[in-house]
Amino acid sequence: MLDIRGLTKRYQGSADGRPAVVTALDDVSVSVAAGEYVAVQGPSGCGKSTLLLAAGGLLAPSAGSVSFNGQDVYALTPEARARWRAESIGFVFQQFQLIPYLSVADNVLAPTLAQPLADGRARALALLQRFGLTHRHDHVPAALSTGEQQRVALARALLHRPRLLLCDEPTGNLDDDSARAVWECLAEFHRGGGAILLVTHDAGAAAKTQRVVRLARKEDQPCPSAQRVGSRAVR
Tens-digit pLDDT string for the chain (235 aa):
999 999 999 988 776 777 788 889 999 999 999 999 999 998 877 889 999 999 999 999 999 999 999 999 999 999 999 989 988 999 998 788 899 999 999 999 998 888 888 899 999 999 999 888 999 999 999 999 988 998 999 999 999 999 999 999 888 888 888 888 889 989 999 999 999 999 988 888 899 999 999 988 765 433 333 333 344 554 4
Give the pLDDT score at 224: 33
Residue-range definition of the domain harbouring residue 95? 2-234
Answer whether 104's CB lies under 8 Å from 136's CB.
yes
Query: What three-state secondary structure class fits 175?
Result: coil
Answer whether 104's CB lies under 8 Å from 141's CB.
yes
User: What CATH number has the domain bearing residue 31?
Assistant: 3.40.50.300
Please give the full DSSP string across 6-62, using - where no structure is assigned.
Answer: EEEEEEEEEETTEEEEEEEEEEEEEEE-TT-EEEEE--TTSSHHHHHHHHTTSS--S
Give the pLDDT score at 121: 93
Query: What three-state secondary structure class fits 151?
Result: helix
**Number of domains within the chain:** 1
* Residues whose CB is less than 8 angstroms from the CB of residue 12 and which lie 6 or more positions away in sequence, other chains included: 19, 20, 21
Q: What global pTM score does this model have?
A: 0.85
Give the pLDDT score at 220: 40
